[in-house]
Amino acid sequence: MSWNYISSVYKGYAVSNSLMVNIESDGKILPRLLISRSNILEFFTVSSNSIELDFQIEIFANITKIEKIATDIKDAPSFLFILSNNLEYGFVTVKNGQLITKYADSVPIGSHIGNDAEEIKVIQEFTRTGSTVSNFYLGLYALSGIVNIFVLKLLNNNDIAIDKMFNIRLPFQKIMDLGTLPNCNFKTSNPLLAILCEEDHRDRKKCFKVMELNLINAELLARATVWEINFSADLTVNKFQSAADGSVLFFSEMSIR
């Protein structure tokens, strides 16, 4: 077995996000390493023996989160969700060294703002409904108890449109983590929203709930919880991760379950 190492020295970075994306340049779809730091987006060419800066884009806000919308399109630039620290967001692609904005807005400012980037959570799920058209959604949790849901549609020309947007208020006092759960173990017609929360501040007990998200009626179906786990008060569960087979890993300060 042989190992290849790449070692380079660069200027100091305060990296907030890094991911591989596809960009469009002169009609060609090219892979690039996207790194964000402060208000700069940098795009690197990665080869077997070097990492070189291709171009960079400056925007007028510090970048908090970047998510690549999960689709199975191969011959199109990546559809990106970008969130800034002032809660402005945009759905963009990158073409010929520029950001092409598909939709932009700002999250309504409320009394409780997630100042820490870790408190702002972005979740998404992609579902193929046919050979050429797909529906999927992205959820943004930035304000206390409110999730912004963006329902997106993949059109026949491989373009992506914002089909509709709505807000859902979660009936829990404190949200520890949010995510989606693959709908492989439960026979439900709606996508599943997974929530790790505290239902009561006094006893600090954690609870994991999986609920149906009705994208048509813009509501969280609370009449029947699909799955529920109650943790003991002395267990400091604070994050979870869903696997493709429907299983869930829970993370606490001392263990993984």
For the chain, the structural domain boundaries read 172-257
Q: Average pLDDT in the 100-108 region?
A: 88
Interval 30-71: pLDDT, tens = 999 999 998 999 999 998 888 999 999 999 889 999 999 887
Burial 182-201, CB ≥16 within 10 A → b, else e: ebeeeeeebbbbbbbbbeee
Higher-confidence position of 6 and 20? 20
All residues at 6 or more sequence positions from 89 whose CB lies less than 8 Å from its CB, including other chains: 81, 82, 83, 104, 105, 106, 107, 140
59 and 43 Cβ atoms separated by less than 8 Å: no
Q: Which pLDDT belongs to residue 20?
A: 95
What is the distance between the alpha carbons of residues 92 and 6, in angstroms, rounded to a whole number? 31
Q: How many CB atoms lie within 10 A of CB 54?
A: 15
Interval 166-202: pLDDT, tens = 988 888 878 889 998 887 888 788 888 999 988 766 6
CA distances from 106 to 11, 49, 185, 220 (A): 32, 41, 36, 23
Longest dimension (CA), the chain: 59
Q: Which pLDDT belongs to residue 132?
A: 45
Q: Are strands 40-46 and 63-68 parallel, antiparallel or unpaired?
A: unpaired
Angle at 107 between CA 101 and CA 109, to 5 degrees: 145
| Closest to 161 measured CA to CA, from 169, 151, 170, 171 | 151
Please give the structure tokens belonging to residue 141.
Answer: 């949790």
pTM over the 0.85 mark: no
